Chains A and B, each alone.
Chain A
C-alpha cells in the first residue's frame, strides 16, 4: 500500500495525472469506499486492503470528462470492466493512467458476520501485503479467528485469474483464488423444475428494496439515462408494488447487460439484502458460451460481442427455444 501511495503521489506531483481514484478508509475497519485524491494530504485516508472490493472502473466514465489524466487503481478483475467500457466507447484510454494493483482475494464482511463474529473492532490479516491464511479479529467479545478463504467474496472463489488485462504499470502481487466452478450454482438452478426455479427467484427477489445499489455499482449499467430513470418509458422509478415488478427490474437489467457483463460480481457485493444477483448474469454468460462459443466480456477490447454480431454459424433461434 505504501508503494502504491508513494507512486500515486509521485505521478500527481510530476503532473502525469491530475487526480487519483482509489479507496479511502470508512468509519469501520471493513468499509473502505471509492474516493478521489487530488492533493498530497488527501492520501492520509488512502487505504488498500482486502476489503477494497469496489470496482473503480465505472468511475472513469465521469473522470474521463475532466481535464488531464486520472490515475485509477484496478484489480485484475476490474480491468475486464475497463476493457468493456473501452469497447463501448464510454472511457478514453488516453485519459486514464491505470495502476494494476495486486489482489489476493477480497473479503466479504457479511460472511465473517455470518460466522457469529460481531462487535468487530479491528481485523488483522486483511492487509494486502500479507499472505495470511487466517484473519484475526478483535471484537468486543474478545479475539476471534476466521479462515481467509471462508471470508472471501463469492466472486473470488471463481476468480478469473491474477492477470491484469490492461494497465500502465503494476504494483503488488496477485493470486488466483479460484477454488470453485464458475457455473456450478447456475447448473444447480438449471436442474430445478420450473416451479422450483420460480419459487427460488421469488424468494430471493422478494427481498429487493429497489435501492438501485446494484445498478449504480454495475460497470455495464452505465447509460447516461437509465430506462428506470427516464420519463420516456413507463418503467420509470417503479417501486416494487407487486411481485411482478420486483422481478421486472432485475430481469430487464440482466437483459440489458447480457453479453456485456464481465461477471465482476459488484451487483451481489453491494446488495444490502444479500440477493445473489450475479446468478442472472452468469446464466446469460453460460448460455452465450454454449451457443456462440466461449466468450469473456472485457478480456480484450473487441469490436463486436457475441450478441451484437452475426455469423452464419450462429445458433438458430429454434435451438435457443428448445433449450428453454
Chain B
C-alpha cells in the first residue's frame, strides 16, 4: 500500500478564489492510501516545495499528488523536489485544478466538487504508480534546417557560427525564399537583394553549412538528439560539380513557355532555368515536364551548347540519409489563392494583381524591368487602388481569421515608392485599420500619407468591375464620410493574406510537430517557449509559426538557432522512462504494434518463452526504449492488451476513470 501525500496549491487566488482548497485537502484524507494532506498559497515556491519534502521525510511518503496548475507548467518542478527528498520522481502526479478547473468555472461549489474528483483520479493513479528510471541517449552534433529563405539562412548561419554543422534543405532550385522576390524592404527602403544576397553568399560558403537545394525531406525517424532524416535530392539533370553557371543553356533552350514561379507567372522561363540571376547555387535545373528532350526524346540543345559537359539527362533522384540532433522548421509562407474573392476581378483582369506581383513589377529584374505598367496593354497607370485585408481578418470561412501583419507596411511602402517615382500617379488605399506597430513603422506610414500624399480611405471595396475601355471600376465605401465611392482605376493591387507553405502539413506530420487550424506550427508555450515546438528537438523559425516581417523573422531565426545550439551543446540527454513495454507471455507476435509505431521503436524477435511451464519458441514484440516516445499508439492497437505504457498503464488509466466515475 502506498503512503500518499496530497498537496493543494492556492496559486495565489488563481485556484483559491474558485476552489475551496481546504475542502479538497480534507476530502483527500478520505482517499485510500492518503496519509497526509495540506494546502499552501504557492506550492511551487521554495517554501511550498520544502513542505512537500518535509512531509515526505516525516510521514515516510511513497507517493505525492500535487493539486495545482497544468503538469506542463510544474510537473518537473515537483518531481525534482520529491527526488531531492528521496522518492522516485515518477511517484509524483499532478491534478490540474487550475486550467482544468478554477480557470474555467465560476461557481465555487461546483468547482470544488470537480477539484475533488480530479484529486481522486490522481490519487487512484499514484496508488498504482511504480518507480521508473530514465535512460540516456546521445546527441548528434548536427542540425537540419528545413527551408532556405531568410529565416532558414539566418538560423543556419547562427548555428554554424557556434561551431556546429548545419544542413539546409530547400525545395526550390535556389535559396533565398520570398525575400529574394521582394524589391524594397520597409521601413528603410533598402533593396531586398542588396541585403539578402550577401547573406546567401555567406551561408553558401560557410564551412559548417551544407545546402541541399531542389531537395525535400522525405522521412524523419528518431527523436530529440538523434533524428534520422531521408532527404530526396531531386534530379537536377545538371551536374553541380561541372556546371560553371555560364547560362548559355538557358539562352539557347527552345522551350520558353513555362510560367516563371519566381516572377509569379507574370512572364515565362525556359525549361532549363535558374529562378533568378543571383540564385545560389548558380546551377540551373531542367524542368522535366517542360523539357522537349524529356517529352519527345528530341532536342538536346542544352547538352550540345554546354561547354562543361554538365547536362545529365539520365540523372536520378538521390536519397541522402543523415543524422541530426536538432531540426529547425523554416518553411515560410505563400499568398492565398484568390478563388474565393472573385469580386475583385483578379481572374478577369490582368490589371488586378497581388502585392507580391507588384513587387516583381517594381523590381528591375522583374517582368517589366522595374517599369510600372499595366500588364494588359503596357500603358502607364494614372490611378492606382490598393485593397487591404483581402482574405485576412475574415470572419467567415472564405479567408483567414488572422491578420497577415505585413500588408499595412508593404502597402505603405508600395504607395510611397510609386508616388516617389511617378508623382503623377494617384494612389488610393482602402483599409479596415492601419496597423503599424514596430520600430519606425508608424512614422513610415505617416510619411506615406503626409509627405507623399497617398489617399487612405477607411472602408472596404465591394466590387471591382472591369470596364470595356480597360479601366477598372472600384466600388467601395468611405466609412468616415459615410458615403459610397465609385472610382475608376488603371490598376488594382490586392493585399492578399499570407498562409503557411502548403507542404508544412506533410512536414509537421513527419516531425510529429503540432499545427494549428491555420496550418501554422504551434509553439511549446505561446509566451515562454515561442520558438520551440512541443515536440522535443524541433524548433520554429519565421512565418511557419505565424505571420511576421523580416526583422521579426530574423530575430526569431536567431532565437531558434540559440535553442538548437543549447541542445547540440549537450553530450547526453535523459530519456523519458514512460515507454511501452510488452508482456511477452501475452504477445501474439502479430506486428500490428510495429505497424502503427510512428517512431519505428518496435521490432520483433523470435525467442523461447516459458509460459507457465510450457516452453515455446515465439515471435514477440520488443521495444527500443530509446526510440519510444510513449505515445501509446501500440497499446491501443494491441488486440490482446500485451503492450502497456509505463507510467500510463491501462490499469492506471482505468483506475483514474473509475475514480472520476465513482
Interface residues of A (CB under 8 A from B): 65, 88-90, 222-227, 230, 232-234, 256-257, 303-305, 308-310, 312
Contact = CB atoms under 8 A, between A and B. Distances in A.
A308 B595 contact: yes
Contacts of A308: 592, 595-596, 637
B589 interface: yes
Interface string B632-662: 0000010111100000001100100000000
Given A230-B586, A234-B654, A312 B641 contact: no
Contact of A89 (B583, B591, B642): B591
A234 B657 CA distance: 13
Contacts of B639: 223, 227, 256-257
B605 interface: no
B507 to A, nearest CB: 11
B616 to A, nearest CB: 7
Contacts of B587: 224
A308 B654 CA distance: 24
B641 A230 contact: yes
A317 to B, nearest CB: 14
14 contacts: A65-B616, A89-B619, A223-B586, A224-B586, A224-B587, A224-B611, A225-B642, A227-B640, A230-B640, A232-B583, A232-B641, A232-B650, A310-B596, A310-B598
B506 interface: yes
A227 B642 CA distance: 9
Contacts of B598: 310
Query: Interface extent on B, as a size class?
Result: 20 to 34
B52 to A, nearest CB: 33
A222 B588 contact: yes
B588 A303 contact: no
Interface string B577-588: 000000101111
Q: Which label, helix, strand, loop or mixed, suits the secondary structure of the A interface?
A: loop
Contacts of B619: 89
B584 to A, nearest CB: 10
Interface in B129-180: none
B436 to A, nearest CB: 38
B590 interface: yes
Given A224-B586, A232-B586, A312-B506, 7 more contacts: A88-B591, A90-B588, A224-B587, A227-B641, A230-B641, A232-B651, A312-B509
B595 A233 contact: no
A224 B596 CA distance: 21
Nearest to A255: B639
A182 B512 CA distance: 39
A303 B595 contact: yes
A227 to B, nearest CB: 5
Given A232-B641, A303-B595, A225 B585 contact: yes
A224 B654 contact: no
Contacts of A226: 640
Contacts of B585: 224-225
A233 B651 CA distance: 7
Contact of B590 (A89, A233, A310, A312): A89
Given A65-B616, A304-B595, A308-B637, A225 B586 contact: yes
B589 A90 contact: yes
Contacts of B586: 223-225, 230, 232
A303 B604 CA distance: 14
A225 B616 contact: no
Contacts of A225: 585-586, 640, 642
A319 to B, nearest CB: 15
Nearest to B606: A89
Nearest to B598: A310
Contacts of A90: 588-590
Interface string B503-528: 00110010000000000000000000
A223 B588 contact: yes
Interface centre among A65, A90, A232, A310 (most CB of B within 10 A): A232
A224 B588 contact: yes
Nearest to A234: B654
Nearest to B636: A255
Return the 9 tightest CB-CB contacts between A and B, nearest first: A223-B640, A88-B590, A308-B595, A256-B639, A225-B586, A304-B595, A89-B589, A308-B596, A227-B641
B508 to A, nearest CB: 11
Nearest to A304: B595
A234 B639 CA distance: 15
